[in-house]
Amino acid sequence: MNPLQHYTHPVNPAVSKENSLVIPRNPRSESNINRGSGNAGTSTAGETTLQRLVEKSKQNTLGSACLVEEVKCPPGVDESEWLASKIVEIFDELNLLAGCIQHLCTCKTCPKMTAGANFEWLWSASANVEPVCLPAPEYFKTCLVWADDKINDTQLFPIDPHVAFPAAFKKNVSVLFKRFFRLYAHVYYHHFQELVESEAAGHLNYNFKHFLYVGLEFGVLQEDQKEMEPLREMVSGFIQERGRILGTTRAEGT
């Protein structure tokens, strides 16, 4: 199935974190992952979150043009600080998405972290550890816990305004984005139709565009990045749309 065929206008999520995988914790991410074993919630919780998502999605709309502008760093704001704030937003959006698909994405339905038949990812805890095959929901949780740890590591994401961001900040962020992309790819390939039927596909598209536009705006995603191959057609469509909004394409449809 081509996700583009079901593309709906993006909507402003403005969603509650209630029933998502995380709850408020600290100044940077204001989140706390459920680090327990097994599924992070019950079917009822997942369905409630999904319904909440749909209802919130219908309340507010924000067009792509607004979104392209919204991700830009305002004048006078430190770019790294701004990017860090966008990463927290993206993390929260993925966390909510994980919560709303938890009744759809189980170890039984998704025993491997895949995007269709041609893409499969193993989880690598570190360079010195052998990558392991995880069921998709475990990959989601492991990735979100890992990202939460990164975001709350003040060596990587300083919260003191007098402490500079590390020189490798964007390089570190690009690794976060590479793994975040896999989460979106899995959902698009394996759970998109269910989200369409639940009228939550617009929310997914909005969040993915937000993720993509932030990544492109700050150079932590590249237009031709091979890791984006599973969603290449859709990514190309969104990139062209962004280009038209920014006036960087020579003509409509090019």
Q: Which residues bind Zn ion (CB under 5 A)?
A: 105, 110, 136, 190
Q: How far is the CB of 193 from Zn ion (least distance, A)?
A: 12
| CA triple 92-95-100, angle to 5 deg | 125
Of the candidates 33, 26, 24, 20, the one whose C-alpha atom is nearest the C-alpha of residue 152 is 26
- Cβ atoms of 212 and 67 within 8 Å: the answer is no
Nearer to Zn ion, 77 or 133 (CB): 133
- Cβ atoms of 104 and 191 within 8 Å: the answer is yes
Q: How far is the CB of 77 from Zn ion (least distance, A)?
A: 37
**CA–CA distance, 64 with 47 (Å, rounded to integer):** 28
Q: How far is the CB of 194 from Zn ion (least distance, A)?
A: 10
Phi-psi region of 18 (alpha: psi -120 to 50; beta: other; left: phi over 0): beta
Nearer to Zn ion, 53 or 67 (CB): 53
Nearer to Zn ion, 113 or 228 (CB): 113
Q: How far is the CB of 248 from Zn ion (least distance, A)?
A: 35
Tokens of 21: 């995988």
Nearer to Zn ion, 54 or 110 (CB): 110
